[in-house]
Structures are given as structure tokens and as C-alpha cells.
């Protein structure tokens, strides 16, 4: 049995913990050539969309390989936010008037970001960003503009926006661990829009990591 069902009753265990075990098991077996790419993605769909413990047990019941220390180290590097010590960057002002402004790549994230957006568009992409602070505040003054914030799933996001004939949508769930950066968005939007979304879906990130880990063993993509 791939997931140990002895000890604490399965249904009494934290569901997300069991789901993580199942997904790790799938990636480990796929990376070692036990599963085909088609079977891996089909089972990954089942695991990521599962609603009860038994579905997770069943999807890995015939798999024998268990994640080892090398797997855990690689997973930690791939799924942990980037922190870097050095010169402490506290504040940054982003002003966009009838123009566009984009932050992406490995940019250094300050403790506080002030965005003034007037008839413009601003995109803040945190997917490869380097953090020095665990708590980041984004203060927004948005007038007839659009603000897009892209984050990886290991970052927590909380939105406290006030909208006047505008819209705010946060599609990034705050479910990461206690060591993950927390981004708090506050301010107002007048006739404008704010959208917070994942840079890529959780499934897409698992598939990319699985292929990366597979390459380490010279298996290549199928």
C-alpha cells in the first residue's frame, strides 16, 4: 500500500497532508519511469481534484517507490520562495500615468510597494521574485486603470481593497505555510480593476517539477 493506512484512521488525517503524499508518490514513480506521461497526468488530475481520502489512497495503491531524501531536497528547492539577505529594500513607488509598468523576473521585493495607476496598466509578477521580508504591503491608488498581480502558489495573498465602480478579484488562496511570504493588498480602485492570480496552475507546476526531476535521472520527457 503506497499510503500507510495503519495507525490513525485515514479519514481523521489532515486531507491536504494525505494529498501531498499522494502527489509526491506519483511524481517519484513517474520520474523513475514507472508511469507513462499519460498515466501520470491522468492520475495527477485525480489527486489534485480529489475530495476524499480514499481517492488519494486508490490513485497510488499500485505504486511502490517512495520519495527519498534527494526527492525531498529537490522539492524544497523548487517549491520554496526565494529569500535573500543583503541590503534591505524597504520602499518602492510605482507610478503609471497613461502608460504601462511591469515588474517580473528575479526582482528584489521591498517591504512596501505603493502603486499609483492613472489610466494605465501595472503588472507585478512575483513568480521568480526574491524576498527579504515575510510581510509585504502593496498600497494601491488605482484610477481607471488595471493592476495585475501574479503569484506562485507558495505565497499567501490577502486583499483589502475598496472599490468604487471597480472590481477586485483574488484567485490566489492563502494556504501556504507559516514561512511563506504574505502579501497584503490595500487601498482603493475607482473605475478600475485589480486581479490577483496564480502564475500557473498547481497542476502545471507539479508537471514541470516532475519533468525536471525526471531529467535528473536521464529519463527525458516522453
> Tens digit of pLDDT for each residue in 123-166?
999 988 999 898 999 999 999 999 999 988 778 888 888 887 65
Averaged pLDDT for residues 184-192: 92
- How sure is the predictor about 115, in pLDDT bands with cuts at 50, 70 and 90? very high
Cα separations in angstroms, 36 against 27, 33, 39, 41: 11, 7, 5, 9
SS3 2: coil
139 neighbors 165 (Cβ within 8 angstroms): no
Give the residue ranges of DSSP H helices in 63-196: 69-79
Do 118 and 144 meet the contact criterion of CB atoms below 8 Å apart?
Answer: yes
Among residues 176, 120, 188, the alpha carbon closest in space to that of 151 is found at 176
Whether residue 175 is predicted with pLDDT greater than 50 in this model: the reply is no
Q: Which residue has the cell 499510503?
A: 3
Task: Determine the Cα–Cα distance for residues 36 and 31; give it in Å rounded to an integer.
Answer: 9
Q: What stretch of H or E contains 148? A: strand 146-151
Q: Where are the alpha helices (DSSP H) in 32-147?
A: 37-49, 53-59, 69-79
Q: Give the pLDDT mean for 110-123.
A: 96
Give 75's contacts (C-beta < 8 A, 6+ positions apart): 24, 67, 209
Per-residue pLDDT at 202 exceeds 60: yes
Distance CA 214, CA 222 (A): 10
Residues 6+ apart with CB under 8 A from 163: 188, 189
Who has greater pLDDT, 82 or 130? 130
Strand order in the sheet with 156-164: 91-97, 112-118, 135-143, 182-190, 156-164
How far, in whole angstroms, is CA 79 from its chain's centroid?
8
pLDDT value of residue 87: 67
Dist CA 89 CA 38 (whole Å): 45
Mapped onto helix, strand or coil, the DSSP state of residue 183 is strand
Amino acid at each position: 500500500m503506497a499510503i500507510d493506512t495503519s495507525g490513525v484512521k485515514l479519514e481523521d488525517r489532515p486531507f491536504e497532508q494525505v494529498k501531498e503524499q499522494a502527489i509526491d508518490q506519483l511524481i517519484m514513480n513517474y520520474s523513475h519511469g514507472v508511469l507513462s506521461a499519460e498515466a501520470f497526468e491522468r492520475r495527477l488530475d485525480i489527486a489534485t481534484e480529489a475530495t476524499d481520502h480514499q481517492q488519494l489512497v486508490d490513485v497510488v495503491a499500485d505504486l511502490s517507490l517512495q520519495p527519498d531524501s534527494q526527492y525531498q531536497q529537490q522539492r524544497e528547492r523548487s517549491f520554496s520562495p526565494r529569500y535573500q539577505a543583503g541590503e534591505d529594500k524597504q520602499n518602492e513607488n510605482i507610478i503609471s500615468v497613461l502608460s504601462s509598468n511591469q515588474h517580473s523576473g528575479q526582482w528584489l521585493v521591498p517591504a512596501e510597494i505603493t502603486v499609483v495607476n492613472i489610466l494605465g496598466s501595472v503588472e507585478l509578477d512575483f513568480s521568480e521574485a526574491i524576498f527579504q521580508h515575510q510581510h509585504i504591503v502593496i498600497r494601491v491608488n488605482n484610477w481607471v486603470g488595471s493592476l495585475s498581480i501574479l503569484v506562485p502558489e507558495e505565497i499567501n495573498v490577502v486583499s483589502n481593497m475598496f472599490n468604487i465602480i471597480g472590481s477586485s478579484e483574488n484567485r490566489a488562496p492563502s494556504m501556504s505555510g507559516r514561512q511563506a511570504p504574505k502579501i497584503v493588498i490595500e487601498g482603493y480602485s475607482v473605475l478600475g480593476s485589480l486581479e490577483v492570480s496564480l502564475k500557473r496552475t498547481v497542476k502545471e507546476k507539479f508537471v514541470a517539477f516532475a519533468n525536471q526531476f525526471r531529467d535528473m535521472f536521464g529519463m527525458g520527457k516522453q
